[in-house]
Structure 1
Amino acid sequence: MGDQVTRPALVLIGAPGSGKSTVGRLLAERLGVPFRDTDEDVEAVAGKPVSDIFVEDGEERFRELEAEAVRRALEEHPGVLALGGGAVLNEDTQARLAGHRVAYLEVGLSDAVQRVGLGSARPLLVLNPRSQLKRLMDARRPIYERLATITVKTDGLTPEAVADALA
């Protein structure tokens, strides 16, 4: 197989609110390649929104579906690929990202809070959204930084400006 494997042009990682889906769509359009979001893949397989998977099936089941979605997408998707914010917590996923072009969209807490919207249906941010988001971002930052081949600080930038920086 080796060189015949289709590889994403770019894989986007980052915390909720970093702009992975929005920037990913813009960038894919600019590059003339398809866009794919692993959260959407998980929803398609499960037949329900991510928030419902968390509530009805639990985070563990969601993470299993997510790891499989990421594995499949890394093997078959040629365009821009956005991973769910927590996908990088999976060690198998971390190993699979080696050798890929991975862009970490770094976002500060206040920008992330504004973008996510604290009344949102993001399952891990239910109780105290701001402190949950901060805790989650602090825990994941070292993983994002280690996996990234490029980092773009998104604070104060429009999605278009971030896509420009990546292009």
Structure 2
Amino acid sequence: MPRAVLVGPPGSGKTTTGRALAALLGVPFHDTDEGVEAAQGRSIGDIFVEDGEATFRDLERAEVARALADEDGVVALGGGAPVDPLTEPLLADHVVVFLDVGIADASKRVGFDRSRPLLAVNPRASWVRLMNARRPVYERVATHVVDTAGRTPDEVAAEVAGLVGGA
């Protein structure tokens, strides 16, 4: 079972903070988006374009379920993963940390580029719409909420490590 599962919107720092947190805790790090890409041999953007969002969500759901069952370190979920009605209940028995972020910090981190398929058209408005829709789910599944605004990944990781009993 993972020590911590990180959730949050694009730009919240799940991957970067997750790597720093795993190093602090001395455990492995696993990013479910990277897991899907490795298994498929192509980027999430390519999966969206070639096969559609529904196919990606099916692949993501399977990878998240596998990671929650098999990984024993820090697991970072893709931004939309917790919203899946079949995935949300799987998070109930885990220590879930919602990395909260505002659009100002998210835009600096993400750059709102084309590698984020759901943010490709009007990225700022799309991010706000996604966050407004997903925030209630992130809050519902979270054991802890950590504000990342104006903080480095190492600072956020240190706080999360304290919350999950690792530092």
TM-score tier, shorter chain, comes to over 0.9
Q: How far 1:119 moved relative to its partner? A: 2.7
Of the three residues 135, 153, 158, the one matched with 1:159 is: 153
Q: Which runs of 4+ in 1 moved over 4 A?
A: none
Whole-Å separation in 2 of the counterparts to 1:47 and 1:164: 33
Q: What is the TM-score with the length of structure 2 in the denominator?
A: 0.95
Please list every run of 5 or more consecutive structure 2 residues that lacks an aligned counterpart in the other structure: 162-167
Please list every run of 5 or more consecutive structure 1 residues that lacks an aligned counterpart in the other structure: 1-6
Whole-Å separation in 1 of the counterparts to 2:73 and 2:114: 28
- Matched residue type, 2:153: P
Q: What is the TM-score with the length of structure 1 in the denominator?
A: 0.95
Indicate the residue corresponding to 1:4 in structure 2. Answer: none
1:28 counterpart = 2:18: no
Whole-Å separation in 1 of the counterparts to 2:140 and 2:121: 29
Whole-Å separation in 1 of the counterparts to 2:112 and 2:29: 27
Q: How far 1:110 moved relative to its partner? A: 1.0
Q: How far 1:151 moved relative to its partner? A: 0.4
Equivalent pairs counted in the alignment come to 161
Whole-Å separation in 1 of the counterparts to 2:77 and 2:112: 21
Whole-Å separation in 1 of the counterparts to 2:90 and 2:160: 22
1:103 counterpart = 2:83: no
Q: Secondary structure at the match of 2:139?
A: helix
Whole-Å separation in 2 of the counterparts to 1:45 and 1:32: 25
Q: How far 1:121 moved relative to its partner? A: 1.2
- Matched residue type, 1:166: V
Of the three residues 100, 104, 118, the one matched with 1:124 is: 118
Indicate the residue corresponding to 1:58 in structure 2. Answer: 52
1:14 counterpart = 2:8: yes
- Matched residue type, 2:15: S
- Matched residue type, 2:24: R
Q: How far 1:99 moved relative to its partner? A: 1.3
- Matched residue type, 2:103: L
Of the three residues 127, 137, 140, the one matched with 2:131 is: 137
- Matched residue type, 2:78: G
Indicate the residue corresponding to 2:73 in structure 1. Answer: 79
Deviations 1:52-88, CA, capped at 9 Å, x for gaps: 0000010000000000000000010000000000001
Q: How far 1:120 moved relative to its partner? A: 4.0
State, as a whole percentage, how many aligned pairs show the same letter: 57
Whole-Å separation in 2 of the counterparts to 1:114 and 1:127: 17
Whole-Å separation in 2 of the counterparts to 1:103 and 1:67: 19
Q: Secondary structure at the match of 1:81?
A: strand
Deviations 1:88-107, CA, capped at 9 Å, x for gaps: 11111100000100000000
Whole-Å separation in 1 of the counterparts to 2:122 and 2:145: 28
- Matched residue type, 2:65: R
